[in-house]
């Protein structure tokens, strides 16, 4: 468990993420996914992250269904985070206007089946909406009791500072893994300086760091990775060669490569939580064990040496896939 920065929220260091349950990662078994969420809860996970854009409410509804008993028995036993302010495929993919956010919060409350959202995050920065409007709109929703805490996702330092001028940013959700390290220069230092709780997504590189992929791996057309340069050609081959070396290192720690990748993220100064998705109950156990894996300074140096041979990659955005 950890305190999520200035939000004061007490959360598990492993957060169950639900992007994979919104239809952008190919088909999945809904009952198995619900079982995975419930199993995570049984194992002590109290932090769950979703978004309005994950299937336009589909992932939120599934999460609400899976947590229904916990919500009814003790609402404060679970910390539910969701995100709004984007509409992929729409005329305006990024929309953090007061009207759109307010409508999104109402829809998320309905999909989740709750009377308040513990942490509401702006999914992506919107250059067409003044930060003052976005921040003040979310503060209004806090004042009304519909959301408890305010965060942002995919913001850089300048955008965080601009938002902060109207109301404090309590949390930040950026992408971060061994093949995507841009936040180390910006905005992680700002987050540390301002006690912003950091929950990172894609700790496993959207599958790159699971050890399950091969150079000839393919993806369903509905899986966004089928369009990503990170999962094709030389980029994929080079990074999977790095993963093979990491597997050997992990074996020496009596761990899996996934556990090492998650533990590495959690070992970075300023990172409070790693968001990890799962579609089956057995997948979450491996991830939870990573929170107890201690990496020494020598371990971290060896991981740096191995991953220096890799290729830095990008991911998906509201406008498409890099």
Active site residue 201: no
Q: Is the pLDDT of residue 25 over 80?
A: no
Question: Between β-strands 147-153 and 117-122, what pairing exists: parallel, antiparallel or unpaired?
Answer: parallel
H or E element: which one contains 297?
helix 297-307
Helix (H) or strand (E) holding 311: none
Cα four-point dihedral sign 268, 190, 159, 116: positive
For residues 35 and 311, is the Cβ–Cβ distance under 8 A? Answer: no
Quick one: DSSP state of residue 86? B
Question: For residue 311, is pLDDT > 70?
Answer: yes
From CA 165, how far away is CA 82, in angstroms rounded?
A: 23
Give the list of residues 6+ apart from residue 16 with CB closer than 8 angstroms, or none: 36, 37, 40, 45, 47, 48, 49, 275, 276, 277, 278, 284
Q: What is the pLDDT of residues 136-167, one digit of tens each?
A: 999 999 999 999 999 999 999 999 999 999 99
- Could you give the CA distance from residue 26 to residue 37 in angstroms, rounded to a whole number? 18
* 192 closest CA partner among 1, 11, 6, 47: 6
Model confidence pLDDT, tens digit, residues 215-272? 999 999 889 999 999 999 999 999 999 999 999 999 999 999 999 999 999 999 999 9
Which segments of 94-204 are extended strands (E)? 117-122, 147-153, 171-173, 197-200
Query: Does pLDDT of 24 surpass 80?
Result: no
Residue with tokens 């957060």: 15
Does 211 sit behind a cis peptide bond, omega within 30 degrees of 0 on the bond before it?
no
DSSP 277: E
Give mean pLDDT, residues 11-32: 88
The answer on pLDDT for 322 being more than 90 is no
* Strand, helix or coil for residue 204: coil
| pLDDT score of 8 more than 70 | yes
Range of weakest confidence among 18-27, 201-210, 289-298: 18-27
Residue 67 has pLDDT above 80, yes or no: yes
| H/E segment holding residue 53 | none
Contacts of 217 (CB under 8 A, 6+ apart): 231, 236
Identify the band that residue 76 occupies on the pLDDT scale cut at 50, 70 and 90: very high
DSSP class of 113: T
| Mean pLDDT to the nearest integer, 94-111 | 98
Catalytic option among 54, 120, 155, 176: 54
Q: How much is the average pLDDT of 177-190?
A: 98
Q: Around Cβ 321, how many Cβ atoms within 10 Å? A: 16
| Structure tokens that stand for 188 in this block | 């992680």
Residue with tokens 């976005």: 134
Task: For 115-138, give the DSSP string.
Answer: S-EEEEEESS--TTS-HHHHHHHH
């Amino acid at each position: 468990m950890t305190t999520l920065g200035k939000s004061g929220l007490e959360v598990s260091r492993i957060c169950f993420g639900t992007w994979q349950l919104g239809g952008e990662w190919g088909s999945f078994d809904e009952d198995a996914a619900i079982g995975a969420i419930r199993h995570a809860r049984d194992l002590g996970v109290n932090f769950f992250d979703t978004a309005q854009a994950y299937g336009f409410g589909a992932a939120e509804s599934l999460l609400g269904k899976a947590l229904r008993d916990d919500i009814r028995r003790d609402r404060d036993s679970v910390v539910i985070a969701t995100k709004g302010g984007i509409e992929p495929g729409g005329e305006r993919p990024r929309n953090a206007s007061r009207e759109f956010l307010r409508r999104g919060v109402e829809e998320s409350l309905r999909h989740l089946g709750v009377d308040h959202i513990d942490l509401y995050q702006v999914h992506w920065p919107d250059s067409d909406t003044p930060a003052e409007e976005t921040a003040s709109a979310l503060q209004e929703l806090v004042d009304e009791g519909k959301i408890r805490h305010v965060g942002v996702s995919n913001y850089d330092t300048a955008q965080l500072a601009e938002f902060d001028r109207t109301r404090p940013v309590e949390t930040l959700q950026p992408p971060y893994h061994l093949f995507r390290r841009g936040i180390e220069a910006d905005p992680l230092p700002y987050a540390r300086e301002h006690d912003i709780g950091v929950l990172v997504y894609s700790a496993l590189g959207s599958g790159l760091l699971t050890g399950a992929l091969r150079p000839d791996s393919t993806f369903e057309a509905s899986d966004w990775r089928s369009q990503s340069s990170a999962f094709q050609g030389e980029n994929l081959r080079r990074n999977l060669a790095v993963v093979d070396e990491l597997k050997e290192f992990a074996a020496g720690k009596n761990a899996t490569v996934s556990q090492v990748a998650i533990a590495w993220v959690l070992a970075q100064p300023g990172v409070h939580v790693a968001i990890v998705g799962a579609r089956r109950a057995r997948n979450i156990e491996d991830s939870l064990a990573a929170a107890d894996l201690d990496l020494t300074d020598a371990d971290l140096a060896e991981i740096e040496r191995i991953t220096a041979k890799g290729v830095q990659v990008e991911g998906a955005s509201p406008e498409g896939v890099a």
